[in-house]
Chain A
Amino acid sequence: MELFKVDVLGRDFLAVAQELVLLSFALGVLLLGVILKGDRRRYTGYVALFGYVLAFLPLLGAIGRGYEAFSGMVVLDPFSLFFKVLILVVGFLVVLLSLDYTSREGIAFGEYYALVLLASAGMMLMAGAAHLVTLFLGLEIMSIAIYALAGIMREDARSVEAAFKYFLLGAFASGFLLYGMALTYASTGALHLREIEGVLAQKAWLTSFPLVLVGLGLLLVGFGFKLALVPFHMWTPDVYEGAPTSITAFMATGVKAAAFAGLLRVFFTALPALEGHWRELLWVLAVATMTLGNLVALRQEDVKRMLAYSSIAHAGYIMVGFVAATELGRAAVLFYLFAYAFMNIGAFAVVALLGRRGAPNTLLEDYAGVGFKHPLLAVAMAVFLFSLAGVPPTAGFMAKFYVFSAAVKAGYYWLAVLGVLNSAVAAYYYLRVMVYMYFREPKEGLQTGYPSFAGAVAILIALWGVFQLGIMPSDFLALAQRSVQVF
């Protein structure tokens, strides 16, 4: 009897090659952090950055392939590749943004970057999961790393609060997710996503038994927490506000992308037979998420909190594409996630660069007159905010356009109308920041800004992304469409 059915040199390892690169760099960075002393520990960040660049390499061998590896635990297909690239880009930008931010806040340890790399690896595993076990393990690796990262500024009470809140609620959500998986297994007898689909297709009568539906609901709760959909969003503002800004950017883009990857995978690969059930449910969730996120964001006086609520609202927009459930809808989800990653990381990068040690300067008042003190940063911020609001010719506009047109084409007129109305409301609070930046007198004696070359590079890349996806979106949309053809 053959013990290890792993093909040692070939395809199995190619399927997780990117994760392996990130992991080896995570361990390397950890060791380096121990060897280097004092201020020199910030060099670990550059090593981590190199790791992200290197992790792009295995892509070359993986493009266009589609197979399952490790006896069906992970899958390498265009869909997982798309998300892996997205996660790598997010990780790259976050590390770039962290380089000076962490030295400023005194958290530039090897462990910081090791955890970021580990979290990225977990996200990639979620995107490539073909099995509920892999999905859950990927989610947990990501979550645990992020819990620790959220609380990394131990002297800051808000950071500790953020970590604690996120951890407790996240553990609960993991419990829900696991329970949902258990019930799905109990009812179908399968953990492999395609097998679940097969069982549900074969025994159609199963879909009307409530056990499957309870499992579905619990899965949705678990994912809803990571996505911050509305009834499960309570943790978001406090955690986003308290966590270090670089990590907030990571949470808002990376975690969301990975959770959406998992959700798409589970719902479209394993549970398409239940589509009739979950579409209506997600419709309601999408509307509630958009509306509540936008309405509460209107009243926020803190830019990080405002961006937190805005990220809730954006999850709602993305759900619109999900509800449409057509190929265009799914492609729109992927497109939106990529566009959102660029504009959101950009916005958070500006927020990070405007702060100083001990004075994060995230209140709206602190932004008064920034347009004249830091003209370049302010222009970048304006672009990102325009993009978040959905103004052409930015990525945000095209993303919203695709999502809403997918909804219209699928016959969800009301959903599209509500989405557009919401975008109109959202413009108010994004523009409010700009009003403060350009039309208010700067506060006396307030020092803002922290020079960072790496941060500037991150902002430039994000700017490029926002315009690239905004002006020439069709190639990218075609790529997204090819990626979702696996379903």
Chain B
Amino acid sequence: MSLGEVIFVVICLVVALGALGAVLSNSLIYAVFFLLLTMGGIGGLYIYLKTPFLAMMQILIYLGAVGVLLIFAVMLAGPFWRRPKERGPFLKGVAGLGVSLLSFILFWRVLRHHPWEVGPQGEVSTSRIGRAILDRYPFAFELISLLIVASILGAIMLGVLSRQGPPKAEED
């Protein structure tokens, strides 16, 4: 096993650890930070897929933007710090474990037996990604802006309009 493989395994462990922590931790803020750990780890995996640009984008977007947004939401949501540990019923845990095990076995078998083909080799350069966006997918690229417009509009609707207070009552 070369050093690269060792580090690959470490990154995978980080990703898994972060995911587990995000699910199992009983404090919301820890869950967020564990989630960010997972996201950062996925950024590391992108480097192994030879797309350093995507790796950096992953970090920029998920750690920088989404992570900060999540933290903001947590802070606005209320005092979750040192919340008493919630203990669900025993059966719930067993069911959760069963489902995870089942899906793990399913995916393990599915991925194991699939006849994978080796994709194109070599690093995916930034300019190739740029060309793909502007050559093949300009339409999808523009649609994303539409999606953002819809999201912003929705957020404004739900956020700002509620500050105006209830409208005047109807008169008969």
A residues with a Cβ closer than 8 A to B are: 3-6, 23, 30, 70-71, 73-74, 104, 106, 109, 111-112, 114-115, 118-119, 121-122, 125, 131, 133-134, 137-138, 140-141, 144-145, 147-149, 151-152, 154-155, 163, 187, 189, 209-211, 214, 356-358, 447
Minimum CB–CB distance from B119 to chain A (whole Å) comes to: 8
CB-CB < 8 A to A210: which residues of B?
106, 109-110, 113-114
Which of A109, A144, A189, A209 interacts with B154 by CB under 8 Å? Answer: A144
CB-CB < 8 A to A104: which residues of B?
170
Which of A155, A163, A211 interacts with B111 by CB under 8 Å? Answer: A211
Instruction: State whether A211 and B138 are in contact (beta carbons under 8 Å apart), knowing that A148-B157, A357-B169 are contacts in the complex.
Output: no
Instruction: State whether A5 and B143 are in contact (beta carbons under 8 Å apart), knowing that A106-B167, A115-B154, A358-B170 are contacts in the complex.
Output: no
How far is B154's CA from A30's CA once the two chains are assembled, in angstroms?
12
CB-CB < 8 A to A147: which residues of B?
154
Which of A114, A134, A357 interacts with B143 by CB under 8 Å? Answer: A134
* B68, CB-defined interface residue at 8 Å: no
How far is B153's CA from A144's CA once the two chains are assembled, in angstroms?
9
Max chain A Cβ within 10 angstroms of own Cβ: one of B109, B151, B168: B151
CB-CB < 8 A to B110: which residues of A?
209-211, 214
Closest to A450 in B: B170
* B139, CB-defined interface residue at 8 Å: yes
- Given A134-B143, A187-B114, A358-B170, 19 more contacts at CB 8 Å? A3-B134, A4-B135, A4-B138, A6-B139, A71-B139, A104-B170, A106-B167, A106-B168, A112-B157, A115-B154, A119-B150, A125-B143, A145-B150, A151-B158, A152-B161, A209-B114, A210-B110, A211-B114, A447-B172
CB-CB < 8 A to A5: which residues of B?
135
A118–B153 CB distance below 8 A: yes
* B166, CB-defined interface residue at 8 Å: yes
Instruction: State whether A118 and B170 are in contact (beta carbons under 8 Å apart), knowing that A3-B135, A137-B144, A152-B157 are contacts in the complex.
Output: no
Closest to B167 in A: A106
B136–A148 CB distance below 8 A: no
Minimum CB–CB distance from A16 to chain B (whole Å) comes to: 8
Closest to B109 in A: A210
CB-CB < 8 A to A152: which residues of B?
157-158, 161
Which of B136, B153, B166 interacts with A71 by CB under 8 Å? Answer: B136
A118–B146 CB distance below 8 A: yes
B169–A134 CB distance below 8 A: no
CB-CB < 8 A to B117: which residues of A?
189
A358–B138 CB distance below 8 A: no
Instruction: State whether A6 and B138 are in contact (beta carbons under 8 Å apart), knowing that A109-B161, A134-B143 are contacts in the complex.
Output: yes
Interface majority SS (helix, strand, loop, mixed), chain A: helix
Closest to B146 in A: A141
B143–A141 CB distance below 8 A: yes
B156–A111 CB distance below 8 A: yes
How far is B151's CA from A23's CA once the two chains are assembled, in angstroms?
14
Beta-carbon contacts of B105-137 to A below 8 Å, as 1s and 0s? 011011101110100000000000000001111
* B97, CB-defined interface residue at 8 Å: no
B170–A155 CB distance below 8 A: no
Total count of chain B residues near the partner, CB < 8 A: 37
How far is B172's CA from A94's CA once the two chains are assembled, in angstroms?
26
A155–B166 CB distance below 8 A: yes
How far is B143's CA from A138's CA once the two chains are assembled, in angstroms?
8
Interface majority SS (helix, strand, loop, mixed), chain B: helix
Closest to A16 in B: B139
CB-CB < 8 A to A121: which residues of B?
146
Closest to B155 in A: A148
12 contacts between A and B (CB under 8 A): A23-B146, A73-B137, A131-B140, A137-B143, A141-B146, A145-B154, A148-B154, A154-B161, A210-B106, A214-B110, A358-B170, A447-B172
CB-CB < 8 A to A144: which residues of B?
147, 150-151, 154
Minimum CB–CB distance from B82 to chain A (whole Å) comes to: 26
B170–A137 CB distance below 8 A: no
How far is B111's CA from A71's CA once the two chains are assembled, in angstroms?
32
Max chain A Cβ within 10 angstroms of own Cβ: one of B146, B151, B155, B162: B146
A357–B151 CB distance below 8 A: no
* B60, CB-defined interface residue at 8 Å: no
CB-CB < 8 A to A211: which residues of B?
110-111, 114
Max chain A Cβ within 10 angstroms of own Cβ: one of B146, B150, B167: B150
Closest to A138 in B: B143
Near A by CB (< 8 A), chain B positions 40-69 give: none
Closest to A109 in B: B161
A141–B169 CB distance below 8 A: no
Closest to A140 in B: B147
CB-CB < 8 A to B106: which residues of A?
210, 214
Instruction: State whether A115 and B138 are in contact (beta carbons under 8 Å apart), knowing that A137-B143, A155-B166, A163-B158 are contacts in the complex.
Output: no
CB-CB < 8 A to A151: which residues of B?
157-158
B153–A30 CB distance below 8 A: yes
* B149, CB-defined interface residue at 8 Å: yes
A118–B149 CB distance below 8 A: yes
CB-CB < 8 A to B109: which residues of A?
210
How far is B153's CA from A151's CA once the two chains are assembled, in angstroms?
13
B153–A358 CB distance below 8 A: no
B153–A115 CB distance below 8 A: yes
Minimum CB–CB distance from A358 to chain B (whole Å) comes to: 7
Minimum CB–CB distance from B14 to chain A (whole Å) comes to: 22
Minimum CB–CB distance from B38 to chain A (whole Å) comes to: 15
How far is B156's CA from A240's CA once the two chains are assembled, in angstroms?
22
Which of A3, A122, A214 interacts with B150 by CB under 8 Å? Answer: A122
B139–A134 CB distance below 8 A: yes
